[in-house]
Structure formats: C-alpha cells, structure tokens
Amino acid sequence: MKAIEKEVARNQKSGTSSPTQPSDIEIGSVAYLEEPLKDGDEALRFLKNQHDVGEMTADDEKRLVRKIDWMIMPLMWGCYCLQYLDKTLVKKYLGTAVVLWGLVTALTCVCKNYGALVATRILLGCFESAVAPSLILITSMWYKKKEQPLRTGIWYLGVGIGTIIGSLISFGFQHLHNPTFTSWQIMFLVVGLITVAMGVSVLGIENTQFKWHQVTECLSDPQTWMLSLITISSNVPNGAVSSYQATLIRGFGFNPKTTALLQLPSGAVSIISILSATYLAGRFDQRGLNVVTLLVPGAIGGALMAFLPGESKAGKLIGNYLTNCIGASLPLLYSWVSANVAGHTKKVTMNAILLMSFCLGNIIGPLTFRQVDAPDFVPAKITIIVTCVVAAGLAMTLRAYYTWENRRRDRAADAGGHVVDEEFLDLTDRENKTFRYRL
C-alpha cells in the first residue's frame, strides 16, 4: 500500500490529468456510493480518503508493478524455497510461523529416535501450512489477474530451486564424517537457522471481517470441489515422485552420491516447466489448458518408468525427470483460485480446502509405493499415469463449466447502471454479476 501511496503522491505533483478522450473511459450510467461500506476492502478506504489521486498512465503502472515485484517477490520466493527445502531434506503464519518452522527444522538435529523425528515433522507441517495460502492471498491482493500466474510461478520456483539446493547440500554433507555431530544433523541445523532469518523479515497480510455466508457459499460452489479433486489427483503423482525420487533413481543402479547429483536435472525441469506454463497462462489467459499440457509429459514419464525394460536406465531416468512437470500445475491451480474466487473470506476458505487437498494427494502418493512391489514399483508408476489422466479430464471439465457460466451471465446481463468501486466491496464471484471466470 505504501508503494501505491507514493505513486499517487508523484502523480499529484506531476499534475497527471484525468482522461478526456472517449476512448479513455467506459461509457455508461454510474451509481455512486454515498458512504464507505464497513465490509469493503482496505483499498476502498484508501481511495475514499484520497480525493484527487489522478490517473496512472501505462508507464506509471509498469513502474509501480516493478516496485511491488522488487519489494515482495524475493520474500515470497524465499519462503517457498525454504519450505520445500526443509521437506525434501528428510524426503519428506507467515512471519512467526516461518520462524517457528525454522526452529523446528534446526531442532531436528537433536533427534535420536523415530518418535522424536515424527514429532518434529508434525510441528513442521503445522507451521508450514500457513505459507501457500498466505502467498496466494498476497499475490491476489497486489497483482491483476493476468499478472498473477507468472508471479505465482516465480515464488513457486522455490520448489525447483529447493530441489537443486537440497541435492547439492545432501551431496556435500555426505562427505562429512563426525561421530559426535553427524552430517545430517549439521545439515538440518544450517537450513533451520537460514529459515529463522527469513522469518524475521517476511511480510504478512491484513485480515478483513470474517463472513460466514461466504464460507457457506464456498462449500456449496461446484468449482470448489472441482478444484479440490484436480489438486488431489495431480498431487498423488507429485507426492510419490518427490518422496521416492531418490529411491527410484537409486533403483536404476546408481550409488547414493551419484543419485544425489542426478536429482539436479529434476529441479531444472521443474523450473523450466513452472516459468513456461505460468508465463503462457498469463500471456494468453489460459490456465486450464496449461494444466493439461503439464500433466501430459507427467503421464508419459510414468509410462516410461513403468514399461521400459530394466536395462533402459537412460529412458527410465528421462521418465523420472518428465514427472517433475506435474508439480508445475500447482501454481496454475493457485492462480486459478486467485482469479476465480472472489470475497476475502471465501478466498481464505478456498485456500484452506486447496491446501488440505494438496496434503491429501501428497499423503496418498507415497502409499502407492508398497514394499511388496519393490524394486520396480510398477503399480505406483501406473498410478502416476492414471491420476494424471484423471486430473487432466477434471481440468477440462472445470474449464467447460467456467465457459458455460460466463455465457449464462452474458445472456442475463442487466442493461442498467453499475456501482462505482464495486470491485472493492468484498463481493463473492457469485454475488458480483459482472464477474467473469478466467479459463
């Protein structure tokens, strides 16, 4: 908000005028709000207090977006990178929550038995659960719908970079040998302290009034459960691959140190797929199609691992790398929620459901790797194929639903006036009849 206030002040000093050409304004009847609504967004209160904010030119807007990028994107990326790094080292609220999860990660180094390790992982999951929902809200608050996919992809790059950093850390610490303080203990201590440092500087979000009717609407909205099912089905293979990637690569016949290094390309595939998919989604405003294009190579990768003969190590390794495209669908789902779920409380509720769906998929995924199927785990690899196909079908179904709903609203559109600042009234996507869903 401070960045916006500075930009407004700059416009006032420069005397930026209001638009005077017919092409600069939307022609139509207007209904004004006499009093600010108590349930409105903070942005509405800011605009009500600024009687002459002027008009921003395209160059002004680009300059403002760049300022916002440099202020919040590094912090969001750092949060997600450290969150993923802390999990992958053991194979698996902002601010305070980040500090607490860093402390728990550091304390993992003193664990001496399975019970202590389980306790730290449970606490770690509790504290990390705030990260993704908070970052989704921050992204939706600061960026336009077309700007959100790429920004979501940027902070979600923490997954790919976390994979690379985690692999290098694992490889490096395997060369340390100390009977009193082992390499894995030092590893968790270092990563935990870095996370604490990040938590001290991380930003938070401002809550608005909690509205129970928006919770009810979210639970009765078809898109809620479609998005939930897509997230579950796409994260079954994601959970399986992220948890058992080292096991799969080692099963191809490589030693532990080589296995750690061979996980580096997985991070590169993740980075490339995330950047490509989120850029294209924002450029062409197509999230659903990009989700499908990421699931296709994932299914192909599962097929290569499942059906290639045992001596085809290179082919199986390529298949393993292709499955890392699947995880890139998650930032697109995050972006879909940011764009298509309106109303602060409804969005918070949807984010919670999406997180639970993500967790459920990642719980189911590792369970498909049964010891009786070792060392090839063919049924688990077939599950990757099936769940990718199911998720792709659900994504296309949801896209068709959005298309139908948009056309229905177009047909029912009222020819009357509209309310100024309607976008700031904290209406849900169902309450706001001018709302149109992004495909």
User: Is the CB of residue 105 less than 8 Å from the CB of residue 184?
Assistant: no
Spell out the domain ranges in the chain. Answer: 69-200+211-412
DSSP category for residue 16: P
- Mean pLDDT for the stretch of residues 379-407: 96
Q: pLDDT value at position 75?
A: 74
Report for 41-45, 140-144, 213-217: range of highest mean pLDDT: 213-217
* Contact residues for 324 (Cβ-Cβ < 8 A; gap 6+): 160, 163, 241, 266, 267, 269, 270, 273, 301
**Higher per-residue confidence, 138 vs 32:** 138
- Looking at 22-36, 209-223, 395-409, which range is the least confident one? 22-36
Segment 72-129, tens digit of pLDDT: 777 777 766 665 554 444 333 454 555 555 566 666 666 677 677 667 767 766 666 6
Q: pLDDT value at position 263?
A: 83
Does residue 216 carry a pLDDT above 80?
Answer: yes
Q: pLDDT value at position 100?
A: 59
Segment 162-202, tens digit of pLDDT: 667 766 766 776 666 666 666 555 656 666 556 555 554 44
Does residue 410 carry a pLDDT above 80?
Answer: yes
User: Is the CB of residue 330 less than 8 Å from the CB of residue 234?
Assistant: yes
**Higher per-residue confidence, 85 vs 29:** 85
Q: What superfamily does domain 69-200+211-412 belong to in CATH? A: MFS general substrate transporter like domains (1.20.1250.20)
Instruction: Give percent of the chain with pLDDT exceeding 90.
Output: 25
Q: pLDDT value at position 137?
A: 73
Going by C-alpha positions, the residue among 373, 425, 378, 337 that lies closest to residue 135 is: 337
Task: Give the position of tokens 């700007």.
Answer: 147
Q: pLDDT value at position 85?
A: 52
Does residue 324 carry a pLDDT above 60?
Answer: yes
Paired tokens of 191: 């990563």
